[in-house]
Structure 1
Amino acid sequence: MINLEQNMGREAFPEGAEIKPVMHHNSTSHHDKRQKESLIDENNDLEWAGTISIGTPAQSFLIDFDTGSSDLWVPSSTCTSSTCSSKKKYTASKSSTSAKKSGTFSIQYGDGSTVSGPINTDTVSVAGITATGQYFSPVTTLSSSFASEPADGLLGMAYPGISNLKQSPFFNTAFSQKKAANNVFAMKLAKTASELYIGGTNSALYTGSIEYHPLSTSNRFWQIGNAKALVGSKVINSGFQTIIDSGTTIMYGPPAAVKAFYAAIPGSAVYSGSTGYYTFPCNSPPTVSFNWGGKNWVVSTANFNLGRTSSTSSQCVGALAGQDLGLGNNVWLLGDSFMKNQYNVFSFAQNAVGFATLS
C-alpha cells in the first residue's frame, strides 16, 4: 500500500484501505528456448522456489516467485551480516552487464522483516527467458528472519504500480523486449512437478478450458472480485475481493468474515495458540471452495488442514485465518493453500486471472 501511494497517489486506494504491512508467511513458439522453470516445494509447502540467473557470466540464485509483489532482490557480495552467510550473493564487479543506478531500495514485510540495498540493472534470465537492463536490488541488509528462508531472494510478478523500485518487473520487461511469446505466465504448485511457465500456459498440466476472471483493480495486484466462499454447497461469504498471491503461504480474510465462515463449520473454534486462526474437528473436515461466477474451485482437505494442534489433539488448524491486511474491509488474500488446488494463469494481455483443472 505504501508503494501504491508513492507510485499512483492516495486516490488509487480502494475504499476502506489503509497503509498497513501485509503478512508474508512466510504453448511452444519461436521465442521458446525453455520457457518453463521447475519449482521446488520448500519446507513442506512454505514456499515454491526456482533458479534464476543474473549477470554476464551468469550468477545463479534460488528465488521465491511472488505474485503479490513487483520487485527483484538478491543478497549482495557486500552483505556481511550473518543472515547472508548461507545464501548465494551477487557480485556486481564480476558481471560485464552490471550497471549501478542512483537511489536505494528498501522494503518491509508484515512480520517486520526488511531488506535494503543499492539499485542496479543487469541481465536476468528465468526459464530461458532473458531480460536485459532489468532493475533489481543487490541488498546489503537482510533482517534475521530471512536466515531460515530457503530462497536466496525474491522475484515479484505483480504489476509495476506496486513496485518499490518504481520500475518494470522482470516479466513485463521480458515481454516488452519480445522475449516472451505471450503476455501471460502460469503456475502449478504441488508436492512434485511444480512449475512456473513464462509466456503462456503448459497445456500438459491442465485439462479443459481456462476460466478467466477480469481484474477489479488496475496496475496493482492480481485481484479479482465478486467472490464467494462456500462450506459444502452453502455460500457463507459473497461479493468480496480476492488477491491471488503465491508469496503468501496460507489464506487470509477480514476477521469478521472469517469468524462467520468458521461459524458454518460444526465443531470449529478459535485457536488459542495464534491470533486469527481457527480449528475444526480433524475427523470431519469441511469442504471449502471459492467461486467467481464459474465453477467452485475446491480447496482439498489436505490443503485446508495445517495440522493438529498437538500430537494427541482431535482438532486441526484451518488454512484460512482472520487478519486485518490494510487492503480494505472486503479483501481476502488467497495464497498457496488455495493455488495448490488448480492451475493458475496470470494474464497481463487480458488483465485477468485464470484457473484450470489440474491434469
Structure 2
Amino acid sequence: MQFTEFNSPNSLQNNSAVKRTELNNYINAQYYGTIELGTPPVRFKVVFDTGSSNTWVPSSQCTSLSCKFHKKYSAKKSSTHRANGTKIRVNYGSGSMSGFVSHDILRVGDMQIEDQAFAEATYLPGPAFLFGKFDGIFGLGFPSLSVRRTVPPLQNAIAQGMLDYPVFAFSIRHQDVKEAGFVTFGSIDESAYVGNIIEIPVSREGYWEVPLTALHMDKFYNESSLDIDFLNSPIGAVIDTGTSLLGFPSQIAEILNDIIGATYKNGMYRVDCAKRDSLPDLRIFLDGHDFSLSPYEYIVKHKKKCYSAITKVDIRPPIGPLVILGNAFLRKYYSVYDIANRTVGLALTSDPLIEI
C-alpha cells in the first residue's frame, strides 16, 4: 500500500509536550483509560469514543444494577461541582444511558478542563454496562452529535488553550502486546506508525465519517466474491474507537461471512481457526485508498475459538446506511483525527500483528 504524505504543522511531531493517556485492553473488545472529575479528584475508567460526543459517568443517584459495580460521581463531595439538571438520554448500539447534566473540573492526561459539562448517569440498562470494565464514556465525536448540545471536553480544551494543535490520535494494540495502546491529544506519536499518513476528508460531521468507495473480497468457500463500487454514491464509513467489531449492512455482512465459510449461531459468526491462512483479504477502500485486512485481522480468536468480526449493523436513512470500522480495523491502522482540517489520517501501525 502506498501512503501519501501527511502535511501537518510541526506542532504535530513527536515531542515532550505530548499529552498522552494510556489505554487498557480487555480481550480485544474494550479499550479504556482514565479521567478524573471534581475536587478532590475522583478517577473513572472511560472508553474514549470517536463514535459519540457525550461524556458521562455513573451518578451517586444511580439505581441500576450496573452502577453497583462501578465508581460513582457524587456532586455533594466535590467543591467545584456546578449544578445544571438538564435531563439527558443517549442511545448506543449496545444500550442506553439516562441521567442529567452537571459541570465540574475534568482532568485527562495533564489537561485540566474547567467547568466541563458531563452527564451523571442514573439509569444504565443492559449487559454492556453491567459487565463492562469501564465506568463511563468520553465522547470524541463532533459537537453536532452531542445530545443536548453539551460541548465535548476536547472542544473545551481547545477553547481554553490547552492543545498545541486541535488533533488527537489513537494507537490501539492486540491483547498479546504488553502495552494496550494510548491516545494523544494535541500531537501525534511518530513511533506509533510506519510510512506516511493518508488524510481522508470527513464526508459528514457528527461521527468521524469518511467516504467508503469500494469493498472487495476474493471468492473462497462458495465460489463467489464481493466487489462493490460505491464511487458514484459513496456511503459513510465511521471510524469508531468505541466499537470492537466491523459493522456492515446486513446483506453485505452475510455475503462476506458466506465467502469465508462462517456459520451463524447465538448471534455470532463462527469460523474454523485452521482455515485462516487460506482465507482472502478484505479490502476496504476509503476515498479511493485501499486499506486491507487479513483473515487474522477480521477474525477474532478467543479461548481457542475463532469468530468473524464482520457483523450486521443496519442504520436507516437519512443517517445510514453506514459501515462501522471499529477496533478490529484500528488495531492495524494508527488513526489521527484533525479537528481543524476535518480529516481522518490513517497509517500502518508500527505494532506487527501477532498471529495466534
| TM-score bin, normalised by smaller chain | 0.7 to 0.9
CA 1:325–1:98: 2 relative to 1, 3 Å: same
Give the corresponding residue for 2:210: 224
Q: Secondary structure at the match of 1:121?
A: strand
CA 1:147–1:235: 2 relative to 1, 3 Å: closer
**Amino acid corresponding to residue 123 of structure 2 in structure 1:** T
Q: Quote the offset at 1:173 in angstroms.
A: 1.0
Residues 98, 121 of structure 1: 8 Å contact kept: yes
Q: Quote the offset at 1:346 in angstroms.
A: 0.8
Distance 2:142 2:320 in 1: 22
Q: Report the aligned-residue RMSD.
A: 2.5
Distance 1:303 1:280 in 2: 14
In the alignment, structure 1 segments of 5+ residues that lack a partner are 1-26
Query: Which of 252, 256, 270 does residue 257 from structure 1 map onto?
Result: 252
Count of aligned pairs: 321
Residues 14, 188 of structure 2: 8 Å contact kept: no
Residues 226, 238 of structure 1: 8 Å contact kept: no
Query: Which of 250, 263, 274 does residue 267 from structure 2 map onto?
Result: 274
Runs of 4+ with >3 A deviation: 27-30, 232-235, 259-263, 277-282, 327-330
Summarize deviations over 1:242-277 as a string: whole Å, max 9, x none: 0111111101111222334445x3x525524327x4
| 2:309 pairs with 1:319 | yes
Distance 1:91 1:185 in 2: 29
Distance 1:121 1:256 in 2: 44
**Amino acid corresponding to residue 346 of structure 2 in structure 1:** F
| 2:153 pairs with 1:170 | yes
Distance 1:202 1:178 in 2: 21
Give the corresponding residue for 1:196: 183
Query: Which of 61, 74, 93 does residue 91 from structure 1 map onto?
Result: 74
Distance 2:43 2:148 in 1: 22
Summarize deviations over 1:140-190 as a string: whole Å, max 9, x none: 222142111100111110001111131211111111111111111000111
**Amino acid corresponding to residue 40 of structure 1 in structure 2:** N
Give the corresponding residue for 1:39: 23
Distance 2:282 2:273 in 1: 14
In the alignment, structure 2 segments of 5+ residues that lack a partner are 1-12, 220-224, 351-356
CA 1:156–1:88: 2 relative to 1, 3 Å: same
Distance 2:124 2:257 in 1: 37
Distance 2:325 2:169 in 1: 16
**Amino acid corresponding to residue 350 of structure 1 in structure 2:** N
Give the corresponding residue for 1:246: 241
| 2:133 pairs with 1:150 | yes
Q: Matches of residues 1-359 of structure 1 in structure 2 within 5 Å?
A: 27=13, 32=17, 35-42=19-26, 44-111=27-94, 113-145=95-127, 146-191=129-174, 192=177, 193=179, 194-218=181-205, 220-231=206-217, 236-239=227-230, 240-262=235-257, 265=259, 268-274=261-267, 277=269, 279=271, 282-283=274-275, 284-293=278-287, 295-307=289-301, 316-326=306-316, 330-359=321-350
Residues 69, 130 of structure 2: 8 Å contact kept: yes
**Amino acid corresponding to residue 36 of structure 1 in structure 2:** R
Q: Quote the offset at 1:237 in angstroms.
A: 2.4
TM-score, structure 2 as length reference: 0.82
**Amino acid corresponding to residue 210 of structure 1 in structure 2:** I
Summarize deviations over 1:293-337 as a string: whole Å, max 9, x none: 5653222433311348x97x8xx5321122312355542111111
Q: Quote the offset at 1:278 in angstroms.
A: 7.0
Distance 1:154 1:334 in 2: 18
Summarize deviations over 1:90-140 as a string: whole Å, max 9, x none: 1212222210114112223334x3322221111111121221111101212
* Percent identity (aligned): 27
Distance 2:49 2:184 in 1: 14
Residues 237, 257 of structure 1: 8 Å contact kept: no
Residues 168, 188 of structure 2: 8 Å contact kept: yes
CA 1:79–1:329: 2 relative to 1, 3 Å: closer
